[in-house]
Structure 1
Amino acid sequence: MPVPERTEADESGAPDARTAALIRALEAIGTGAYVVDELGRILAVNARAEHLLARPAGDLLGQDAHDLLHGDAHGQPLPRTRCRMRQAFHAGRAAQADDDHFVRGDGTALPISWTITPYDIGGTANGTLVVFDASARAQEAGPSQQPVTGPLPELERLALLAETTTRLTSTLDVEEALRRLVTLVVPRLADWAVIDLITERDEVWRKAVVHAAGDTLVYHEELQGPMPPIPQESPMPLSRALRGAASTLAGPKTYQREPDSGIAVEQRRLFEATGIHSAAIAPIRSAREVLGALTLGRAGHPGDFTSTDLHLLEDITRRAGLALDNARLYQRQRKVAETMQNHLLPQMPRVPGLEMTVRYLPAPDASQVGGDWYDAFPLSDGATALAIGDVVGHDLEAAAGMAQVRNMLRAYAWSQTKPTSRIVERLDEAIRHITDVTMATMILARLEEADDGRWRLSWSNAGHPPPLLISHDGLADYLTDGHGILLGVTAGPRPDATALLPPGSTLVLYTDGLVEELGHTLDEGLMRLRRHAAALAHRPLASFTDQLLRRVRPAGNDDDVALLALRTPSIRP
C-alpha cells in the first residue's frame, strides 16, 4: 500500500523554518517518527507516522503525545504512571520497547516497537525523537497493516542517524561538531572514540581521544596532537581511511607487525594505551575531499565489531563529513569577511587634546558581516572629520559598498570646505550614479577647537541613530538635531546642527547593532545605551568603551557593531 503524501501541519499555512527542518529530517527516516518538545507536545511528524496512526498531521501537531496516542492493548488510555516511554522522556534518556501500543485515529490499538532519544531542535530548545513501527503482532493482523522495515536494532539505527543529522548540522563550529559527534557514538556504540582530521595544510591532527568512564567522557590529551604525514602506499587501516578508502576493522594484532609509517607507530601506541581489543575505522569525507577518519574502539565494551557495524559507521561519518565541511566553509567565509572588514577600517588620527577610541564587533553569522564602518581624518583647514555609517545589506558586497562610500566621503570632505550638510548632499548624489549601494545611513561631523578652548561639533545626520553626549558628571543626552533622511532615498537639502562639547565630556557614535534587539523597540535600546553610558562616564575611555559594548550589545545580536568614542579634555587650569 503506498504511503500518502504528507499533509500540511496546520491551517495557518506553511510551517516555520524550524518545523520545516524537523520535517525534512523525519522524512529521511524509513519508519514512523515524530518529535516532541520539553512538555511532550508534538512539534513535527513524518508521512509514515501519519499513515501508521491513521491521523493527519493537523490532528497530531501541538497535542500531548501521551494523552493522544498511548494506550493499552484494547485502545484504552494508558495511565501516565504505567507509561515506560514517559518515564524515560522525563529522565531525558534514550529508551526502547518492543511490546507497546499506540491508539490509531479509528480508535484501534496498534502494536508497536519504539525507541526514543534526546533530540536537538535548534537554539536553546531540547526535544525528544520518537521512532516507531508496527510490531510483528501487527503484521499478523492482515494485509491492511504495513510490514515492518526491520527489527528493533534497525529502529535504533534510524534514530541514531536522525539524531546525528540534526545535531551535527545545527552547529557551524568545528570544535562543537566534533564534541557532538563523540557524544553520539560513545558509549552507545563503543567505549573509545578517536577523531583524526586533515588540516587545510594537509597535515593530520589527532583532535580527540575520548573514553567513556561510566556516564563521564574523559578526553586523553596525552594521546592527542599532531600526527605523522599520510603514507601514500600503506595498507594499514587508518592510513587507508585517511586516503579515503572504505571502512575497515582492526585490532591490536593489526599494528603488532613492523610499522610501515609514523601513523602506524601512533596507532600501536593508541591500542597499547587504551586496551582496545576491537576497532572500526571509517573515513570522514565531504563531497569534495577527505576530511579525516573516525575510529571506534571497544576495550571494556563486550563483543567485537563486525562488517555489519561498518555500514552504520559509514552512515555516521558521511553525515559528519557534510557537517564538518559546512562548518569549515562557514569559518573560512567568516575569516575572509572579517579580514576584509578589518583592513578596510582605518587607523584613527591623533588629535592633540582629544582622546579617541574605536571598536568593531563582527556579527556572529558570517553572512551578516560587512556593512558597518567608522572613520576619522584631518580636513584641509585643520579641523577633524568624524563619520559613522551603515550600508544597507550584509556580506562582502556590503563591505565593498562601505569602502566605496567611505573613500568618496573622504575625497569630498577634504576638497570642499563647506558645511557637513553640503558634503552629505554631494555624496548622496554620487552614490546613486557611480556605486552599487542602494541605501545607507551615516553621520558626518566636523570637530574643531573654539576660541574659549572648548570643542565645537557640527554634523549632519542621514538617517542614522543619534550621537550620544555624556557629561563628566554623568548627564547623557542624544543629539537629535540635524537629522535627515538616509542616503539613496531622495535628493534634497540636508540639515546641519552644532553643539559645544563640555570639558571632560564623552561623545559616542555607534551603529544600530548596538541598540536594536528583536522583540524590543528602538527606544528601549536607546534608553539602555544612555543609562549604561551615564553610569560609566567616570571610567577611562578604553574601559568605558569596552564595558559599554559588553553591557549594551543585545545577547544573540545578529548584526555587526561599529563604535567611535572621543573624550574632550577637562577644564584647563
Structure 2
Amino acid sequence: MRALTDAKDRLQGLLDAVLAISRELDLSVVLRRIVTTAMELVGARYGALGVLHESGEYLRELITAGLSEDERAALAGVDFPHGEGVLGHLIRDPRPLRVGDIASHPASVGFPPGHPRMRTLLGIAISVRGEIYGDLYLSERHDGRPFDRHDEDIVVALAGAAGVAIENARLFAQVRDSAETFQRLLLPTLSDLSPFTAATVYRPAAEPNRLGGDWYDALVLPDGSVGVMIGDVGGHDLRAAAAMAQARSMLRALFYDRRTPPSEVLTQLDHTLHATTDIPVTTACLARVEPGESGWVLRWSTAGHFPPLLIGPGAETEYLYAEPGLPLGVSTGEHRPDHTRPLPPGSVLVFFTDGLVEHPARPLDENLTALAGLAASLVSRPLQEFVQALADRHPSDGRDDMAVLALRVPLGPGPPPGAATAGRSR
C-alpha cells in the first residue's frame, strides 16, 4: 500500500512538473525550471543542464542550481565544464546514466578547484525534434542514497516533456522576434529635419507577444515647418500593429496635404478612420514647429495623449499641459482645441507614449515628475543617446511598449514667418 501511495505521489509530482515547465515561454526560464523541477522530483541537492554546441561535441552553456553562495564564490573565475569526464560520457552516449561513485567511473577526470565534492550522478539526455539538445545532470540525493531506477524513469519522463517545452519556447522566440522586426519596419526612419535635430527610440513591451500600437513620425511640411506626430493604438497584437500603420500613414498624408491647424487634421483623421476602418481607440499628439515673430513656435493639439515635455536651455522642465481632446475612435463630433507656445532656442521637446511612465504600483504624477528629472539630468547628451537613456531608465514597469521622439530647437532666432515657405517654393 505504501508503494502504491508513493507511486501516485510521484506521478502527481511529474504531472505538476510538466505543467510548470509547459507554462513558461522564455527559453532561459524554461531551462532553469527544468533543472529545479528535476531536482525536486528526485530530491537532489545539485542540478545542472548542459546545452550542447551546434556541433554536438561539447557544452556551450551550463545552467546550474543548488550551489550555495559560498560554493559559488569558491568557483568564481573557474570556467564551467564543457563536457570532459563523466559529463562528456553522456554527450558521447546519450543513454541514461546512473553513477554511484563518480570518482571511480572510468571517464572521471576529477573536479576543478573549489568544486563541491559530488559522489552520485544521474544523467539524462534531452532531445528536441529527434536531436540531442542537452544533458540534464543531477547529483547527491538529500537522503544520501544513490539514484535508483525509479529516479531514472521519472526524470526520463520529465526530459520528454522538457524537449517539447524547449521547442515551444524556441518557436515562440522566433515568432516574437519576427513580430518585433515587423513592428519596427512599420515605424519610419526620420528624414533630415534641418535646422532641427531629432531622435527616436522604440521599445517593445515586456509582455510575451511584444506587439503594440505605439508609433511616431516627423517630417518637413511644404511651408517649411516641422510636423511631429506620436500616438498609441489600443491593444497588444497584430491588429493593433496593423491599425497603428494605418493611422500613421493616414495622418502623415493629411498633415502634409492640409494647411489647417493640428486640431482640424486630427478631426479629419478621426472622420476618415471612422468611415474606412474599424480602428481601436487611439491617442495621439500632433504638433507643428514653425517660425514666429521672435523665434520658433509650437502649435499642437492632442487626442487624449500625454502632453509634450519641454526642457529649456537651462535644463528647466515643463509639461505642456493644456485642454486635451477626445481620443480618436470615440466620437467624431467633439472639437479638439489647439494650443500655442513659444520655444526657447536650444530647448528640447520630448513626445512620448504611456509605456514610458505608467506603473501600477506608483501614482502617475510621481512617475511624470521622475521622468522630468531624468530628462533634465540627461538633456546635455547627444540627442540619440538622450532618448536611449530615457528608454533604458524609464520609471514605468516596462510591461507596455514605449515610443519616444525628441526634437532639439536650433540655437539663435528662427527665420521670419513666411521665409521657410518662400525658400521651399522656388
Q: TM-score range by the shorter chain?
A: 0.7 to 0.9
Q: Which residue of 2 aligns with 1:509?
A: 351
1:195 aligns with 2:50: yes
CA-to-partner distance for each residue in 1:186-245, whole Å, 9 max, x for gaps?
69448674534697xx978735457889744768545169xxxxxxxxxx986896xxxx
363, 387, 390: which is aligned to 2:232?
Answer: 390
Task: Tell me the distance in 2 between the aligned counterparts of 1:540 and 1:211.
Answer: 42
CA-to-partner distance for each residue in 1:434-473, whole Å, 9 max, x for gaps?
2231210111111223353x21221121110111112112
Q: Which residue of 2 aligns with 1:457?
A: 298
Q: Which residue of 2 aligns with 1:426?
A: 268
1:292 aligns with 2:145: no
CA-to-partner distance for each residue in 1:356-397, whole Å, 9 max, x for gaps?
111111111133522101111122232221000000111222
Q: Which residue of 2 aligns with 1:570?
A: 411
1:223 aligns with 2:82: yes
Kindly indicate whether the alpha-carbon contact (under 8 Å) linking 2:345 and 2:410 is maintained by their aligned counterparts in 1.
Answer: yes
Task: Tell me the distance in 2 between the aligned counterparts of 1:561 and 1:278.
Answer: 48
Kindly indicate whether the alpha-carbon contact (under 8 Å) linking 1:349 and 1:377 is maintained by their aligned counterparts in 2.
Answer: yes
Q: Which residue of 1 aligns with 2:362?
A: 520
Kindly indicate whether the alpha-carbon contact (under 8 Å) linking 1:249 and 1:305 is maintained by their aligned counterparts in 2.
Answer: no
- Measured after TM superposition, the shift of residue 535 of structure 1 is 4.2
Q: May I ask how many residue pairs the two structures share in their alignment?
A: 389
Unaligned runs of 5+ in 1: 1-146, 226-235, 242-246, 253-267
The change in CA–CA distance for 1:204 and 1:407 in structure 2 (over 3 A counts) is farther
Q: Which residue of 2 aligns with 1:311?
A: 153
Kindly indicate whether the alpha-carbon contact (under 8 Å) linking 1:283 and 1:294 is maintained by their aligned counterparts in 2.
Answer: yes
Q: Which residue of 2 aligns with 1:174?
A: 27
The change in CA–CA distance for 1:496 and 1:222 in structure 2 (over 3 A counts) is same
Whichever residue aligns with residue 348 of structure 1, its letter is L
Q: Which residue of 1 aligns with 2:421?
A: none
165, 174, 177: which is aligned to 1:332?
Answer: 174
- Measured after TM superposition, the shift of residue 405 of structure 1 is 0.7
CA-to-partner distance for each residue in 1:278-311, whole Å, 9 max, x for gaps?
75434445xx776735343669998765543332
Give the secondary-structure state (helix, strand or coil) at the position aligned to 1:417. Answer: coil
1:467 aligns with 2:322: no
- TM-score, normalised with respect to structure 1: 0.58
Whichever residue aligns with residue 410 of structure 1, its letter is R
Give the secondary-structure state (helix, strand or coil) at the position aligned to 1:223. Answer: coil
- Measured after TM superposition, the shift of residue 403 of structure 1 is 0.6
344, 354, 357: which is aligned to 2:196?
Answer: 354
- Measured after TM superposition, the shift of residue 419 of structure 1 is 1.9
Kindly indicate whether the alpha-carbon contact (under 8 Å) linking 1:537 and 1:544 is maintained by their aligned counterparts in 2.
Answer: yes
1:440 aligns with 2:282: yes
Whichever residue aligns with residue 512 of structure 1, its letter is D
Task: Tell me the distance in 1 between the aligned counterparts of 2:28 and 2:411.
Answer: 49
Give the secondary-structure state (helix, strand or coil) at the position aligned to 2:315. Answer: coil
Task: Tell me the distance in 2 between the aligned counterparts of 1:404 and 1:468.
Answer: 26
- TM-score, normalised with respect to structure 2: 0.76
Q: Which residue of 2 aligns with 1:281?
A: 124
The change in CA–CA distance for 1:291 and 1:330 in structure 2 (over 3 A counts) is farther
Task: Tell me the distance in 1 between the aligned counterparts of 2:376 and 2:65.
Answer: 52
Whichever residue aligns with residue 298 of structure 2, its letter is L
1:490 aligns with 2:331: yes
Whichever residue aligns with residue 162 of structure 2, its letter is A
353, 369, 374: which is aligned to 2:216?
Answer: 374
The aligned runs of 1:253-268 (5 Å cut-off) are none
Task: Tell me the distance in 1 between the aligned counterparts of 2:192 and 2:52.
Answer: 47
Kindly indicate whether the alpha-carbon contact (under 8 Å) linking 2:51 and 2:62 is maintained by their aligned counterparts in 1.
Answer: no
Give the secondary-structure state (helix, strand or coil) at the position aligned to 1:484. Answer: coil
Q: Which residue of 1 aligns with 2:423?
A: none
Whichever residue aligns with residue 300 of structure 2, its letter is W
Q: Which residue of 2 aligns with 1:416?
A: 258
Kindly indicate whether the alpha-carbon contact (under 8 Å) linking 1:185 and 1:193 is maintained by their aligned counterparts in 2.
Answer: no
Deviates more, 1:209-218 or 1:368-377: 209-218
Kindly indicate whether the alpha-carbon contact (under 8 Å) linking 1:421 and 1:495 is maintained by their aligned counterparts in 2.
Answer: yes
Unaligned runs of 5+ in 2: 112-118, 415-426
Task: Tell me the distance in 1 between the aligned counterparts of 2:336 and 2:350.
Answer: 22
Kindly indicate whether the alpha-carbon contact (under 8 Å) linking 1:465 and 1:511 is maintained by their aligned counterparts in 2.
Answer: yes
Give the secondary-structure state (helix, strand or coil) at the position aligned to 2:289. Answer: strand
The change in CA–CA distance for 1:220 and 1:190 in structure 2 (over 3 A counts) is farther
Give the secondary-structure state (helix, strand or coil) at the position aligned to 1:483. Answer: coil
RMSD across aligned positions (CA): 4.0
Q: Which residue of 2 aligns with 1:549?
A: 391
- Measured after TM superposition, the shift of residue 432 of structure 1 is 1.5
Q: Which residue of 2 aligns with 1:258?
A: none
- The share of aligned pairs that are identical, in percent, is 35
Give the secondary-structure state (helix, strand or coil) at the position aligned to 1:443. Answer: strand
